Amino acid sequence: MTESILDIRPIPPPKKHPTIFQQFDALGPGDAFVLVNDHDPRPLQYQFQIERPGTFSWTYLAEGPVEWRVRIAKVGG
């Protein structure tokens, strides 16, 4: 099991979600990364539910007000 940190705050907005999905798609089953953002990434969670249903877990580790941290893991095989 591996877990890395992906701080998307310095990434330009049009590249944020593609970067996050690329990181997720590279994970092996059971692996995870911690997403760091400057706002609640709830819209991203909805996008995961639509585009990768049943393949991820989403756990808030910190919920603002300055920094949000979410552990996103790949589940299943």
Task: Please say if the pLDDT value at position 9 is more than 90.
Answer: yes
Q: What's residue 6's pLDDT? A: 98
Amino acid letter, 63: E
Q: Are 57 and 1 in contact (CB under 8 A)?
A: no
Residue-range domains of the chain with CATH? 3-74 (3.30.110.40)
Task: Please say if the pLDDT value at position 25 is more than 90.
Answer: yes
Mean pLDDT of the residues in the chain: 95
Q: Tens digit of pLDDT for each residue in 39-67?
A: 999 999 999 999 999 999 999 999 999 99
* Token couple for 71: 């552990």
Q: How far is CA 22 from CA 5, 9, 19, 26, 63, in A?
A: 14, 16, 5, 6, 24
Q: What's residue 50's pLDDT? A: 98
Of 1, 24, 29, nearest to 70 by C-alpha is: 24
pLDDT class of 1 with cuts at 50, 70, 90: low
